[in-house]
Structure 1
Amino acid sequence: MNTRHLLIALALAATSGAVLAQNVSAQAPDAQGKTRAQVIEELKQARADGSLSVSDYDYPRQPVFVSTKTRAQVVEELKAAQAQGLLTVSDADYPKLPVFVSAKTRAQVQAELVEYQKHPDPQGLYRGY
């Protein structure tokens, strides 16, 4: 069993080496077509126009942001959002819930409390009433 696995691994290694050798030889004429000076010049040009990525920091490259609003417009939008309560400043406001508006008057709620105190139903809490 182990001999069989070893033979399969050797066969795969030999064929993969041959495939890699073909790929390298196919790419070699293109790479040798440029001189060292040409490659250095291309590198300088890529650095100058910003198309050279040197780390994962700027991947994928984002387009440069260009603002279409003036500072005064942005400040006005900020003030409007603050006035409407749309601006969150911490995680305590997340998620933004609508303001609760009761459908009952204060007198109705007080009447319900008096009625409940007369006839308490502790199981009613668990049934959802």
Structure 2
Amino acid sequence: MKATDSHNQRIASLTFASVYPAYVIKVQKKGRTEDELIEVITWLTGYNRQELNELIERKVTFEEFFAEAKLNQSANLITGTICGYRIEDIENPLTQKVRYLDKLVDELAKGKKMDKILRS
């Protein structure tokens, strides 16, 4: 699947605050915790819990969210498919970062061990 410009723009304009509750529900339905979710997001972005809360309060878009993030140097090890897209083949850097996050949330929800999720 090839992402279109409109698809990439739609992702860029989504607010992190609008998606975060869905992430929490997804992982909790599968027996994981919000603390584990925050650990995964922190690993990927470098944000701490307080910074994440501030970003949620500010209702930043994914574009702003990832512009301020310090992406983990091992993020490129996140591969596979998510939402029909092969992560390593996504050309738009922002869309790829959002799909990294989606993939990590999926792995957490599927019960994968934390050391595997965090590529340790």
TM above 0.5, one fold?
A: no
Give TM-score scaled by structure 1 length: 0.17
Structure with max Cα Rg = 1
